[in-house]
Amino acid sequence: MRRRIFLAMLFLTTFSTILITIVSLIHFRFEAQEYHEERLSRKENAIKEHIDYILQTTTYPLQTKNIKYIFRERIHELSDIHSLEINFFDLNGKLLLSSKSAFKIDKQVPNISAETLKELQNSTSKRVVVSKPKENDKYVKSSYTYVKDNKFKNLAILNIPYEENSDFYNEEATNFLKRYAQVFVIMFIFSIFLSYLLSSNITKSITQISEKLELTRLNQRNQKLKLQDGNQEINTLIQSYNFMVDKLEESANKLAQSEREHAWREMAKQVAHEIKNPLTPMRLTIQSFTRKFDANDPNINQKLSDFSETLIQQIDTMTTVASAFSNFASMPTQNNVLLNVVPVTRIALEIFHEDFIFFNTTEDEILTSIDKTQLISIVTNLVKNAIQAIPDDQESKSVKVDLTKQESTFTLRIHDNGTGISDEFRDHIFEPKFTTKNSGMGLGLAIIKNIVENYHGSITFETEKGKGTTFIVILPLNK
């Protein structure tokens, strides 16, 4: 848009200059033609007045045949006084007398053409002007008018050839073009500068809006643009953009609130379901114990012990559900200390008694600032998931835990040779309450992801159906 505005303004400047030049040249030419026509008319009137004076003072009878005698001695005087060639023709267009021995244009003296003679006869002003071009691109105007006697009767036809000399106007036009060319150069340079400023000023806000639109996101706070003084059209566009930002932020807040409400509703349903599961067997157990209770029963102590154990197991299940939900809802306060990741990982793996768990590392020390409990939780949860991903009836089982160190991060890889993750579940692995197991709430990986991201780390996975899965945790080193 800036380029189009810039080029359009330069085009207007150039086009207006060309148009002014053409109009000026036409004006100069029109003035020259008008000047020559007026000059010929003045000369013709002066010559006719002189001729009338001679006719009034002559002793010859005023007849057409006597014209050559009346003006035989005076025609050169007329020509010299008025500085023009003078010719007399009879009423039929034949030459009677001329101030020259031959016409300047034609070596042979022509008579008046029948067309010109007819036009003169039919003219209301009894005057005809004929223009003919010369070899030097100049024009000769020949005026034809009647010479009358004292009774206003036509005696002869007066012809005055007049050669246009426009050298003065041509010189004026040339000087004008030179001066105007200088003005045009200055004006063109100024137009370039002005066009650049105007196009930049006009498109500045549009460019800002374009840049802001590229950065506009639903999940972040978008900045507004400031109004510009004296630019109503651009301000209307800016106001529309700012209004859109307000609406977008309002929509984002409503969407976030809706998502939170939906997530908590789903979580509440899941928690209620998980709590309801142990409540049913607890109720049945209590009802059965109450119905069959006999204080004199010799096995009453054993039955009471079984009853208590059943209740404790179900209570522990409810406690586990409540603890998992509490951990997900609000992470414990981090107690970051500088520790060596290698021995902590070894300690976390000691709780597992499976002989197919292998720990590999070439590092003796990987120092970072992290909460020890949360680091152990990351390792144990991922290893536990890896063990559960391997079918019980699979002959060859393997869980590999690799710990490596990079320049500014360390990487924990947990690989299993289980069944892998199917394509339909890949996008939901880290979602709360999602699980492919028959037990559990599906909060383990969501909690781990939350912990890792709190340390500005990342957790990803690679999987292949039927060959296993590798979870990759990358955390920053202590600086």
DSSP string of 45-104, one letter each residue: HHHHHHHHHHHHH-SS---GGGHHHHSTTTHHHHHHHHTS--EEE-TTS-EEEESSSS-S
Dump pLDDT digits (tens) for 357-387: 999 999 999 999 988 888 888 898 899 889 9
- The last residue of a domain, from among 117, 146, 165: 165
Q: Does the residue 212 lie in any domain?
A: no
Q: Does the residue 299 lie in any domain?
A: yes
Q: Does the residue 119 lie in any domain?
A: yes
Collapsed DSSP state (helix, strand, coil) of residue 389:
coil
- The last residue of a domain, from among 114, 136, 165: 165
Do residues 462 and 384 share a domain? yes
**pLDDT at residue 438 in the model:** 46
Q: Does the residue 109 lie in any domain?
A: yes
Do residues 119 and 129 share a domain? yes
What is the domain-level CATH number for residue 462? 3.30.565.10
Do residues 243 and 295 share a domain? yes
Q: Does the residue 220 lie in any domain?
A: no
Dump pLDDT digits (tens) for 32-59: 777 777 888 888 888 888 888 888 888 8
**Model pTM greater than 0.75?**
no
| Nearest C-alpha neighbor of 124 from the set 104, 109, 145, 138 | 145
Q: Which residues pair with 361 in a beta bridge?
A: 403
Q: Does the residue 130 lie in any domain?
A: yes
Q: Does the residue 219 lie in any domain?
A: no
> How many angstroms separate the CA atoms of 233 and 202, rounded?
10
Do residues 347 and 321 share a domain? no
Do residues 393 and 341 share a domain? yes
Do residues 248 and 177 share a domain? no
> How many angstroms separate the CA atoms of 285 and 292, rounded?
11
Do residues 103 and 26 share a domain? no
Pairing of strands 357-361, 399-405: parallel
The C-alpha angle with vertex 42 and arms to 36 and 46, in degrees rounded to 5, equals 145
What is the domain-level CATH number for residue 257? 1.10.287
Do residues 315 and 351 share a domain? no
Q: 218: which DSSP letter?
A: T
**pLDDT at residue 323 in the model:** 65
Do residues 254 and 314 share a domain? yes
Do residues 322 and 363 share a domain? no
Do residues 113 and 141 share a domain? yes
What is the domain-level CATH number for residue 151? 3.30.450.20
Give the residue numbers spanning the domain of 437: 336-476
Q: Does the residue 184 lie in any domain?
A: yes
Q: Residue 338: which residues within 8 A CB-CB, separation 6 or more?
A: 367, 368, 369, 478
Regions of the chain with pLDDT less than 70: 1, 101-109, 134-139, 164-170, 202-205, 208-209, 211-234, 256-257, 259-261, 263-282, 284-285, 307, 310, 313-314, 316-318, 320-334, 432-443, 479
**pLDDT at residue 414 in the model:** 94
- The last residue of a domain, from among 165, 194, 219: 165
Do residues 380 and 467 share a domain? yes
**pLDDT at residue 367 in the model:** 92
Work out how many domains the chain is built from and give that number. 4
